[in-house]
Amino acid sequence: MQKLPGNDLCILHYPWLLIILIFFLSCNLFEYEPYSTELTNVPPPQPNNISIDISGSLDTLNAWDYVTINYSIQNDSIQDVNVSLYVDTQLVAQTSNPTYIGFNTESFSDGLYQIRMEFLIPTGSGSLADKLGAEYYSTEKQFPIYIDNRETVYPPELEAISLVNTRPLLKWNEYEYHNFQEYKIYRKLKDANTDSLLLVIKDRNITEYTDSTYLGGNVRYKIELGAKSKILSSNYSDFAGNISTLANPAIIPDNHILLTWSRCDYDSNFDYYEIRKGIEKNEGIISYESLVKIYDIDSTNYVDKNAEFGRPLNYQLFLGNKNLLINSNVKEILLGKECPYYDFISFVPTIRAFCLYAVTNGELDTEYNSMLIYEDNYDIIKLDGFLIFFSPDGEKAYKKKNIWNSSILYQVNPLNIDAVLDTIQIVNKDGRDCGFTQFYVTNNGLIVLYDLNSSDYVFYDVLNKQHFSTIDWNSFDYIISISPNGKYLLNGDGSFYKVDYKTYTKLYTIASAERYQLCFTEDDEEYVVTSNSSISIRRSMDQTIINQFPIENDLNRPVIDSISGYLGGFTREGEKYRIYNLLNGSKIKEIPLVYDISLESFFYWSGSTLFLSAYLWGSYFVNINF
Amino acid sequence: MKKFIICFVLFGLTHAIFSKEPNLSLRFKLSYNSFDMHELKDFQTTLASVYRRIMDIPVKEFENFPNYFGLQLEFYNQWLKGNPIGIYVEYTSTGSRIHYSDYSGMLNIDQIINRISLGVCGERCIYPFKSSNIMFNIYLGLIRSNYSINEKLKIGENALSTVTRFYGYSIGIEPNLSYQLSIHSYMFLIGIGYQIDFPIRNLKSDEYELRDSRNNSIYPGWRGLRLNISIGYNF
Over the stretch A191-248, which tens digit does the pLDDT of each residue have?
778 888 999 998 888 999 999 889 988 899 999 999 888 899 998 999 988 899 999 9
Domains of chain B, first to last: 2-234 (2.40.160.20)
Average of pLDDT values for A148-158? 85
Q: In whole angstroms, what is the distance from residue A572 CA to residue A555 CA?
A: 8
Cβ neighbours around B36 below 10 Å, total: 17
How do A136-147 and A61-63 pair as beta strands?
parallel
- What tens digit of pLDDT does each residue of A531-554 get? 989 999 999 999 999 999 999 989
Contact A19 B26 (CB under 8 A): yes
HSE-up (13 A, CA, CB side) for residue A102: 11
Residue among B6, B24, B95 minimizing CB distance to A1: B24
Top pLDDT among A476 and B117 is at B117
What are the chain B neighbours of A24 within 8 Å (beta carbons)?
Answer: 3-4, 6-7, 91
Over its length of 235 residues, how does chain B's per-residue pLDDT go in tens digits?
555 666 566 666 666 555 555 578 889 999 999 999 999 999 999 999 999 998 899 999 998 999 999 999 998 887 666 688 899 999 999 999 999 999 999 999 999 999 999 999 999 989 988 888 999 999 999 999 999 999 999 998 899 999 999 999 999 999 999 999 988 888 999 999 999 999 999 999 888 888 888 888 899 899 999 999 999 988 7
Between B58, B101, B103, which is nearest A37 by CB?
B101
Q: Which residue of B has its CA nearest to A24?
A: B3
Quote the minimal CA–CA distance from B126 to chain A in Å: 28
Summarize pLDDT for A356-408 with one digit per residue, the tens.
665 555 555 555 556 666 666 666 677 777 778 888 888 888 888 877 677 88
To the nearest 10°, report the CA torsion of B76, B78, B80, B86: -10
pLDDT value, residue A1: 44
> Can you list the alpha helix ranges (DSSP code H) found in A39-169?
128-131
Please indicate whether, in this complex, the C-beta atoms of B69 and A30 are within 8 angstroms of each other.
Answer: yes
d(CA B88, CA B232): 13
Q: How far apart are CA A258 and CA A249, in angstroms?
A: 6
CB A207 within 8 A of CB A172: yes
- Respond yes or no on whether ipTM tops 0.90: no
* C-alpha distance from B19 to closest chain A C-alpha (Å): 6
CB contact under 8 A, B71 and A27: yes
Q: Which chain A residues contact residue B99 at CB under 8 A?
A: 36-38
**pLDDT score of B45:** 92
- The A488-491 sheet, strands edge to edge: A479-482, A488-491, A495-500, A503-509
Cα gap A38→A53, rounded to integer Å: 42
What residues form DSSP beta bridges with A53?
A72
Q: A554: which residues sit within 8 A by CB, 6+ positions away?
A: A517, A530, A531, A532, A533, A571, A572
Beta bridge partners of A276: A290, A316
Give me the pLDDT at residue A359, please: 57
Chain B residues whose beta carbon lies within 8 Å of the beta carbon of residue A127? 102-105
Residue A26: closest C-alpha in chain B: B71
Answer left, alpha or beta for residue A56, where phi above 0 means left and psi between -120 and 50 means alpha: left
Total residue length of chain B: 235
Picking from A1, A34, A135, the nearest residue to B235 by CB comes out as: A1
pLDDT of A490 > 80? The answer is: yes
- The pLDDT score that the predictor gives to residue A6 is 45
pLDDT for position A337: 72
CA triple A17-A20-A26, angle to 5 deg: 140
pLDDT of residue A3: 45
Min distance B218 CA to chain A CA atoms (Å): 20
Nearest residue in A to B155, CA atom: A129
Residue A39 with chain B: CB contacts under 8 Å = 101-102
Cβ pairs bridging A and B (under 8 Å) = 121
Mutate to test the interface with B, among A2, A11, A32, A33 (most CBs of B within 10 A): A32
Q: Please provide the average confidence, as pLDDT, over all residues in chain A.
A: 83
Mean pLDDT of A523-536: 93
Q: What is the pTM of this model?
A: 0.51
Tell me the nearest-neighbour CA distance from B152 into chain A, angstroms.
12
Count the Cβ atoms, other than its own, within 10 Å of residue A360.
11
Smallest Cα distance from A96 to chain B, Å: 20
- pLDDT for A14 equals 65
- Asked if residue A581 lies in contact with residue A560, where contact means CB atoms within 8 angstroms, the answer is no
Cα–Cα distance for residue pair A260/A380, rounded to 1 Å: 33
Among A128-142, A402-416, A537-551, the minimum mean pLDDT is found in A402-416
A91 min Cα distance to partner chain B (Å): 23
Q: Which residues contact B192 (CB under 8 A, 6 or more apart)?
A: B176, B177, B178, B225, B226, B227, B228
Sheet with A66-73, side-by-side order of all strands: A52-54, A66-73, A100-104
The mean per-residue pLDDT over the stretch A54-63 comes to 77
pLDDT at residue number A456:
83
Cβ of A34 and B63 within 8 Å? yes
B contacts of A136 (beta carbons < 8 Å): none
Q: How far is A16 from chain B (nearest CA, A)?
A: 8
pLDDT band at A4 (very low <50, low <70, confident <90, very high): very low
Q: Which residues of chain B lie closer than 8 angstroms to A28, CB-CB?
A: 3
> Which pLDDT does position A52 carry in this prediction?
83
Nearest Cβ partner of A40 from B26, B28, B102? B102
Instruction: Say if the Cβ atoms of A33 and B107 lie within 8 Å.
Output: no
Interface test with A, best of B75, B96, B102, B109 (most A CBs within 10 A): B102
Helix (H) or strand (E) run with residue B12 in it: helix B2-18
